[in-house]
Structure 1
Amino acid sequence: MTSWYESYIDRQIREAYERGDFDNLPGAGKPLPGIGEEYDEDWWIKDLVRRENITGVVPASLALRKEVEDLPQAVADKRTEASVRGYVDDLNERILRARRGLIDGPPVVLPTVDADEVVQAWRRLPHRA
């Protein structure tokens, strides 16, 4: 004698199937994405970035390099020399932390920024005259 037991979950699935809730689902009949590819442990974050169309996400060390590159534009709107120097001091502190390996991303080989040079360039901007 064989007894048949259907759990609550199994019953919900069977009833949904009988109602046709699983008919015409998106992706039906298509292979699962990523099948046959090498396993990537960051698959979930890459999928999230793709699905949510997230842009501008870069490791902190790369963002730091970009910030150094964009330094003239970043200080252009500063109103005082003290604020320019404060910005450069903060940037230099983050560069030093990155060089010690204390931020995420590829290694940083950036030199610190000379605050005097940045201030001189800032003074030459048209709105400073």
Structure 2
Amino acid sequence: MSGRKPAGSSFEDWVERQVREATERGEFDHLPGAGAPLPGLDRAFSADRWAADKARREGFDVTGMLPPALALRREREVLLRDVHQLVSERAVRDVVTDFNDRVREQYRRPADGPLVVIALLDVEALVAEWHRRRPPAPAPATTQAPPVRGVRRWWRRIRGSHPQ
């Protein structure tokens, strides 16, 4: 590619010539996706969809882009899947209670779009599931003190007396 556009040509002509010359040199041959249709041409353009697709390609979590009701629904799925990773029964109860409070609050607000049904979680059922899926705790190591055999006390060492 030449560095600068010549003064006498239009920008469009200059770009077209560069593309044509690169094609003649074969620089576009064997590129990944060559000959395949471009994805998404059958859908109307949406800035939101483009941003979500870009975030997915870059490996970002797109749940922050979801409407609140859908984000809660996604959070429920993740919570049900990963409840066993919480560290204590108290943590399970706190997380589930917080989730249920936010679902109730979502139902109290006017709907921004279509109604998304989000079921409340049963705290006791999830605590039981947490107990069931937890790995068993390692058995405590039993350490026994060595047997005491003829131990001389410090005062006996000083006096020179031995136990009998």
TM-score (norm 2): 0.47
Q: What whole-Å deviation, never above 9, does each CA across 1:80-103 have from its counterpart, x for those lacking one?
A: 111111110111111112212368
Shift of 1:17: 7.5
Q: Give 1:24's match in structure 2, choosing from 1, 15, 22.
A: 15
Q: Distance in 1 between matches of 2:111 and 2:8?
A: 54
Residue aligning to 1:99: 107
Q: TM-score, normalised by structure 1?
A: 0.57
Identify unmatched segments of 5+ residues in structure 2.
1-5, 17-42, 57-61, 138-164
List structure 1 runs of 4+ shifted beyond 2 angstroms: 16-23, 43-50, 55-60, 69-74, 101-111
Q: Residue in 2 aligned with 1:111?
A: 119
Identity %, equivalent residues: 28
Q: Is the 8 A contact 2:84 2:134 kept in 1?
A: no
Q: Distance in 2 between matches of 1:79 and 1:128?
A: 13
Q: State how many pairs are aligned.
A: 100
Give the aligned CA root-mean-square deviation in angstroms.
Answer: 3.4
Indicate the structure (1 or 2) with the bigger Cα radius of gyration. Answer: 2
Out of 118, 124, 128, the residue aligned to residue 132 of structure 2 is 124
Instruction: Show structure 1 runs of 5+ residues with no match.
Output: 1-15, 26-36
Q: Which residue of 1 aligns with 2:86?
A: 78
* Cα gap change, 1:101 to 1:44, in 2 (>3 Å): same
